[in-house]
């Protein structure tokens, strides 16, 4: 993992501290052993804490300037809580989040406000994250009321129209209300609001999962183009693994509050060494019927355990086919396994980290196969692959 | 695979239809039209849809929100809210009988017993104030007239069949005490309780996580094969379709725009919309490049464009597309030999096929 931020001088709090340029390739956000527990209480009058939901339990990673870090995991793994803690919307229970070397959990007042300006969020559901009683102009312009230094009062309308233009909406729509837009257009409004303060980091929490398939690609392309234009760093939280792979430079996999594996997209998707990542990748339905027979799927048994009472040792051990006695007693650390080489050697929190050789070659074959097939289809007329879909095809009038 | 495949004793054998000839489709929908009468006007949700399903076959209906895929399925089930919905034309022939000519009491007897539905959101489809055992047992009490005790025993048996661990202990639990995957299993158990001939699954795994989605789809496929049921799978997920479907009908703005056996559709689509959907899937060799995106938005059903509904978004649109609604053309190969089961509602299907 890169660790370049130590070079940054300890700047005094205040807005000026964040004007220091961070070079491309340096960590802009450093997260260390971040913990977020939600207490479970009992009793109405006298509240007793009886336990805690360990939503995020010791997560460390760097977000590098200009990169996209994808975070994948199933519901309940803590990925959205992680986003909220990074935004300082929820106070962290323990651990540190440093923005350009500055510990953000210790900040307050103007210094915190300045950091928040630079970390913005795009939410999942564009239907509920936009106030239905506000016009688009008010929604996108609201950040300027909190940070008036970005756009002086007289310029705000113009600034909002520019933002609408940047995200591909007609600037004349400034007086419309959210309900007059489709889902994809609403998500563009959400993105424009996130961009308003010219942040350096945008945390996207499932930004396309509520959208129609044909519109998802449009929004992904917009995010990609904005990143290049404004040199943004993205943290891209999603459960759609193929979209995450498309947009991410690095990918982190979370399970039950822990980061279990992190690496470049190639390391994670082609050389995964953690059993959970392997199961997750193998479970993704491929849009290629020819792969139906050849794929080697790992179907996990059971459900994710409760984060209020996670298993001892490795949290994945209850569903893992490799689990041994050691997994129940010893928590595996997120580190590069010394016994692996090449691309397989990246951070993985498993005592028995190893590539899944057979599956991996099968996956490559599938991908190559489908690519070749489409190639054929495009060049060679209507031949298709000759396979009959089985089941018998009924005539259509 | 999951732990056990213990198929506990079933009292009745899966029903095999002996009256119908083997080749006749189980369900045939012909020229179905459904309209919604709203304050702003008439929304044409389904505009002449034809499809058929045989026993043991899986038909996937693929489409975006507003394409009419769910509405057409609800019309088949007879659970459309009317008003505002109104079936304005067509036939739904199920095992030789046109369901639209039947009275509500007769349809109620068919629903649940002979055709059943699995909904997307199990939490809102199950009643939160009744135990799952009681909701499962209700199927047997209402349709088969069993008493409470026998119904409960059947409920436990069904929960076992969908592999809910410790079914006998959990039969008295409420829906909120189950996880999302387990709730969807209960929904499947309810749908299968009376061993129907046809299952309609409306986005059955959309609300679930990938690893759980794999379990549920496997279960559904396995039970379908065992009972030799017809399955209509309604989804927007191209991955799930590729995994389980035998044939596919792609819907857009209330019409079927393309039908094909699964392999042919993915290998060589004959409609620009299908091609656009397939091209917008992120692919390995395109990383870092712009994704292909179908431009524009799905149409408003109150104002479906004249001609082909897809023409404003279509890269291939010509004048004829803006004036003439394309019928579902039979797709043939270069020698003019019809490709079995293939059809495309595009004036330029030939050119699309050769793209």
**Min CA distance, B287 vs chain A (Å)?**
5
**pLDDT-derived band at A160, boundaries 50, 70, 90:** very high
Please judge whether A291 and B259 are an interchain contact, meaning their C-beta atoms are less than 8 angstroms apart: no
Please judge whether B243 and A301 are an interchain contact, meaning their C-beta atoms are less than 8 angstroms apart: no
pLDDT of A283 > 90? The answer is no
Closest CA in chain A for residue B178: A303
pLDDT of A327 > 50? The answer is yes
- Chain A, 283-312: which have a CB under 8 Å from a chain B CB? 283-292, 297, 299-301, 303-304
Rounded Cα–Cα distance for residues A59 and A235 (Å) = 14
**Min CA distance, B129 vs chain A (Å)?**
23
> Looking at per-residue confidence, does A50 or B137 come out higher?
B137
Closest CA in chain B for residue A293: B243
Judge whether B215 lies within some domain: no
Rounded Cα–Cα distance for residues A340 and B209 (Å) = 30
Suggest the residue from A213, A236, A265 to mutate for an interface test with chain B (most B CBs closer than 10 A).
A213
**Min CA distance, A101 vs chain B (Å)?**
30
Judge whether B171 lies within some domain: no
Q: What is the dihedral sign for C-alpha B136, B140, B145, B146?
A: negative
Residue A331 burial by Cβ neighbours in a 10 Å radius (0-12, 13-18, 19+): middle
Please judge whether B50 and A300 are an interchain contact, meaning their C-beta atoms are less than 8 angstroms apart: no
> Looking at per-residue confidence, does A288 or A293 come out higher?
A288
Question: Which residues of chain B make contact with A224, given a CB cutoff of 8 A?
Answer: 290
Among the partner residues B182, B267, B280, nearest to A213 by beta-carbon distance: B280
**Min CA distance, B5 vs chain A (Å)?**
13
Rounded Cα–Cα distance for residues A62 and A58 (Å) = 14
**Min CA distance, B143 vs chain A (Å)?**
31
Suggest the residue from A394, A395, A397 to mutate for an interface test with chain B (most B CBs closer than 10 A).
A394
Q: Quick one: average pLDDT of A268-277?
A: 91
CATH number at B273 reads 3.40.50.300
Low-confidence residues of chain B, pLDDT below 70? 1-23, 284-286
Distance of CA B225 to the CA centre of its chain: 17
Q: Which two tokens stand for residue B15?
A: 């029903």
Question: What pLDDT was estimated at residue A367?
Answer: 41
Question: What pLDDT was estimated at residue B22?
Answer: 54
3-state helix, strand, coil in chain A (%, to 5): 40, 20, 40
Strand partners, A37: A54
Strand partners, B116: B199
Judge whether B87 lies within some domain: yes
What phi and psi values does residue A97 have, to the nearest 5 degrees? Answer: -125, 115
Question: What pLDDT was estimated at residue B257?
Answer: 93
Among the partner residues A303, A374, A385, nearest to B212 by beta-carbon distance: A303
- Chain A, 254-283: which have a CB under 8 Å from a chain B CB? 265, 279-280, 283
The b-or-e profile of A134-145 (16+ CB within 10 A means b, else e) is: ebbbebbbebbe
Question: Which residues of chain B make contact with A241, given a CB cutoff of 8 A?
Answer: 210
Computed over every residue of chain A, the mean pLDDT equals 80
Rounded Cα–Cα distance for residues B16 and B345 (Å) = 36
Closest CA in chain B for residue A77: B209
Residues 6+ apart with CB under 8 A from A358: A296
Rounded Cα–Cα distance for residues A83 and B117 (Å) = 37
A271-to-A105, A237, A358, A361 alpha-carbon distances in Å: 35, 21, 12, 10
Rounded Cα–Cα distance for residues A324 and A351 (Å) = 9
**Min CA distance, B314 vs chain A (Å)?**
12
**pLDDT-derived band at A2, boundaries 50, 70, 90:** very low
Among the partner residues B57, B242, B245, nearest to A288 by beta-carbon distance: B242
pLDDT of A128 > 50? The answer is yes
Judge whether B181 lies within some domain: no
Question: What pLDDT was estimated at residue A139?
Answer: 92
Q: Average the pLDDT over each of A192-201, A336-345, B136-145 and give the range with the smallest value.
A: A336-345
Please judge whether B267 and A385 are an interchain contact, meaning their C-beta atoms are less than 8 angstroms apart: yes
Question: Which residues of chain B make contact with A264, given a CB cutoff of 8 A?
Answer: none
Nearest CA to B178 among B191, B167, B193, B190?
B167
Q: Which pLDDT tens digit goes with each residue over B297-329? A: 888 888 888 989 999 989 888 888 999 899 888
Please judge whether A396 and B213 are an interchain contact, meaning their C-beta atoms are less than 8 angstroms apart: no
- Chain A, 180-219: which have a CB under 8 Å from a chain B CB? 182, 184-185, 212-218
Rounded Cα–Cα distance for residues B228 and B199 (Å) = 11
**Min CA distance, A89 vs chain B (Å)?**
26
Question: What pLDDT was estimated at residue B272?
Answer: 92
Closest CA in chain A for residue B341: A393
Please judge whether A245 and B282 are an interchain contact, meaning their C-beta atoms are less than 8 angstroms apart: yes
Among the partner residues B1, B268, B280, nearest to A299 by beta-carbon distance: B1
**Min CA distance, A193 vs chain B (Å)?**
22
pLDDT of A6 > 50? The answer is no
Rounded Cα–Cα distance for residues B312 and B299 (Å) = 9
Distance of CA B69 to the CA centre of its chain: 7
Rounded Cα–Cα distance for residues B314 and B296 (Å) = 9
Please judge whether B2 and A224 are an interchain contact, meaning their C-beta atoms are less than 8 angstroms apart: no
pLDDT of A274 > 90? The answer is yes
CA angle A91, A92, A94 (to 5 degrees): 145
Q: Which pLDDT tens digit goes with each residue over A55-89? A: 899 899 999 998 999 999 887 788 888 998 888 88
Residue B349 burial by Cβ neighbours in a 10 Å radius (0-12, 13-18, 19+): buried
Closest CA in chain B for residue A276: B211
SS3 call for A156: helix
Run of H or E including A275: helix A275-283
**Min CA distance, A74 vs chain B (Å)?**
6
Question: What pLDDT was estimated at residue A23?
Answer: 53
Among the partner residues A182, A239, A242, nearest to B281 by beta-carbon distance: A242
Q: Which pLDDT tens digit goes with each residue over A230-269? A: 899 999 998 888 889 989 999 999 999 999 999 998 899 8
- Chain A, 104-133: which have a CB under 8 Å from a chain B CB? none
**pLDDT-derived band at A136, boundaries 50, 70, 90:** very high
Closest CA in chain B for residue A321: B1
Count: domains in chain B: 1
pLDDT of A209 > 50? The answer is yes
Q: Token match 């994948």: residue?
A: A72
Judge whether B284 lies within some domain: yes
A320-to-A109, A314, A317 alpha-carbon distances in Å: 46, 10, 5
Question: Which residues of chain A make contact with B336, given a CB cutoff of 8 A?
Answer: none
Please judge whether B50 and A397 are an interchain contact, meaning their C-beta atoms are less than 8 angstroms apart: yes
What residue numbers bound the domain in which B18 lies? 1-103+198-205+226-355
pLDDT of A356 > 70? The answer is yes
> Looking at per-residue confidence, does A201 or A388 come out higher?
A201
pLDDT of A25 > 70? The answer is no
Q: How many Cα atoms are found within 13 Å in the side-chain-facing hemisphere of B166?
A: 6
Judge whether B164 lies within some domain: no
Q: What is the dihedral sign for C-alpha B170, B174, B175, B178?
A: negative
Q: What is the CA radius of gyration of chain A?
A: 23
Rounded Cα–Cα distance for residues B161 and B171 (Å) = 13
Question: What pLDDT was estimated at residue B285?
Answer: 67
Please judge whether A280 and B210 are an interchain contact, meaning their C-beta atoms are less than 8 angstroms apart: yes
Judge whether B110 lies within some domain: no
Question: Which residues of chain B make contact with A397, given a CB cutoff of 8 A?
Answer: 30, 50, 328
**pLDDT-derived band at A305, boundaries 50, 70, 90:** confident
Please judge whether A396 and B328 are an interchain contact, meaning their C-beta atoms are less than 8 angstroms apart: yes
The b-or-e profile of B183-219 (16+ CB within 10 A means b, else e) is: bbbbbbbbbbbbbbbbbbbbbbbebbbbbbbbbbbbb
Question: Which residues of chain A make contact with B276, given a CB cutoff of 8 A?
Answer: 214
pLDDT of A349 > 80? The answer is yes
- Are the C-beta atoms of residues A314 and A326 closer than 8 Å to each other? no
Please judge whether A388 and B239 are an interchain contact, meaning their C-beta atoms are less than 8 angstroms apart: no
Nearest CA to A77 among A220, A210, A259, A301?
A259
Rounded to the nearest 10 degrees, how much is the dihedral formed by the CA atoms of B13, B18, B22, B27? -80
Judge whether B7 lies within some domain: yes
Q: What is the CA radius of gyration of chain B?
A: 21
Please judge whether A285 and B242 are an interchain contact, meaning their C-beta atoms are less than 8 angstroms apart: yes
Rounded Cα–Cα distance for residues B316 and B344 (Å) = 14
Suggest the residue from B277, B281, B294 to mutate for an interface test with chain A (most A CBs closer than 10 A).
B281
A270-to-A69, A72, A248, A344, B208 alpha-carbon distances in Å: 17, 15, 14, 9, 25
């Amino acid at each position: 993992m890169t660790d370049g931020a130590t070079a940054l001088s300890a700047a005094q709090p205040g807005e000026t501290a964040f004007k220091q340029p961070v070079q491309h390739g340096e960590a802009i956000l450093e997260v260390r052993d971040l913990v977020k527990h939600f207490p479970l209480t009992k009793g109405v009058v006298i509240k007793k804490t009886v336990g805690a939901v360990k939503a995020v339990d010791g997560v460390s990673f760097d977000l590098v300037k200009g990169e996209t870090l994808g975070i994948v995991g199933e519901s309940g793994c803590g990925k959205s809580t992680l986003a909220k803690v990074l935004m300082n919307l929820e106070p962290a229970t323990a651990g540190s989040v440093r923005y350009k070397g500055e510990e953000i959990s210790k900040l307050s007042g103007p210094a915190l406000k300045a950091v928040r300006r630079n970390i913005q969020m795009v939410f999942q559901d564009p239907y509920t994250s936009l106030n239905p009683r506000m016009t688009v102009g008010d929604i996108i312009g609201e950040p300027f009321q909190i940070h008036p230094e970005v756009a002086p009062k007289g310029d705000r309308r113009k600034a909002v129209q520019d933002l609408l233009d940047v995200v591909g909406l007609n600037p004349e729509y400034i007086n419309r209300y959210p309900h007059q837009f489709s889902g994809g257009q609403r998500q563009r409004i959400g993105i424009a609001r996130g961009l308003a303060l010219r942040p350096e980091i945008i945390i996207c929490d499932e930004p396309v999962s509520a959208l129609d398939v044909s519109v998802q690609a449009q929004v992904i392309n917009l995010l990609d183009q904005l990143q290049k234009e404004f040199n943004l760093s993205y943290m891209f939280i999603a459960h759609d693994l193929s979209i995450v792979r498309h947009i991410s430079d690095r990918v982190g996999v979370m399970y039950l509050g822990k980061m279990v594996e992190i690496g470049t997209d190639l390391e994670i998707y082609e050389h995964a060494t953690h059993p959970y990542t392997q199961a997750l990748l193998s479970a993704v339905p491929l849009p290629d019927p020819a792969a139906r027979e050849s794929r080697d799927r790992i179907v996990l048994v059971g459900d994710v355990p409760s984060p209020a009472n996670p298993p001892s040792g490795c949290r994945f051990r209850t569903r893992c086919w490799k689990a041994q006695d050691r997994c129940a007693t010893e928590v595996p650390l997120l580190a590069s396994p010394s016994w692996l080489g090449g691309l397989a050697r990246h951070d993985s929190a498993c005592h028995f980290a190893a590539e899944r050789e057979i599956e991996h070659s099968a996956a490559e074959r599938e991908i190559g196969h489908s690519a070749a097939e489409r190639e054929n289809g495009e060049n060679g007329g209507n031949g298709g692959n000759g396979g009959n879909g089985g089941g018998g095809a009924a005539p259509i009038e | 695979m999951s732990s056990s495949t213990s198929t506990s004793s079933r009292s009745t054998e899966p029903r095999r239809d002996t009256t119908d000839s083997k080749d006749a489709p189980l369900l045939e929908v012909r020229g179905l039209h459904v309209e919604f009468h709203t304050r702003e006007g008439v929304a044409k949700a389904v505009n002449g849809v034809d499809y058929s399903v045989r026993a043991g076959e899986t038909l996937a209906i693929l489409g975006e929100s507003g394409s009419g895929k769910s509405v057409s399925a609800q019309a088949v089930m007879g659970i459309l809210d009317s008003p505002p919905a109104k079936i304005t034309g067509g036939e739904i022939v199920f095992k030789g009988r046109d369901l639209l000519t039947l009275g509500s009491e007769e349809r109620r007897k068919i629903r649940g017993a002979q055709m059943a539905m699995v909904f997307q959101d199990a939490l809102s489809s199950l009643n939160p104030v009744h135990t799952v055992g009681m909701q499962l047992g209700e199927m047997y009490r209402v349709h088969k007239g069993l008493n409470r005790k026998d119904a409960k025993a059947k409920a436990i048996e069904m929960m076992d069949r969908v592999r809910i661990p410790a079914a006998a202990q959990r039969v008295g639990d409420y829906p909120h005490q189950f996880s999302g995957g387990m709730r969807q299993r209960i929904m499947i158990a309810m749908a299968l309780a009376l061993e129907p001939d046809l299952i309609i699954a409306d986005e059955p795994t959309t609300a679930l996580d990938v690893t759980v989605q794999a379990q549920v789809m496997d279960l559904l496929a396995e039970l379908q094969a065992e009972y030799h049921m017809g399955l209509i799978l309604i989804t927007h997920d191209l991955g799930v379709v590729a995994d389980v479907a035998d044939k596919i009908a792609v819907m857009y703005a209330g019409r079927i725009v393309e039908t094909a056996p699964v392999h042919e559709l993915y290998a060589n689509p004959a409609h620009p919309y299908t091609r656009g959907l397939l091209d917008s899937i992120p692919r390995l060799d395109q990383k870092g490049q712009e994704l292909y995106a179908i431009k524009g938005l799905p149409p408003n059903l109150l104002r479906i464009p004249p001609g082909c509904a897809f023409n404003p978004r279509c890269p291939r649109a010509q004048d004829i597309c803006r004036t003439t609604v394309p019928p579902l053309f039979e797709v043939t190969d270069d020698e003019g030999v019809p490709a079995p089961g293939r059809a495309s509602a595009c004036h330029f299907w030939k050119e699309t096929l050769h793209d």
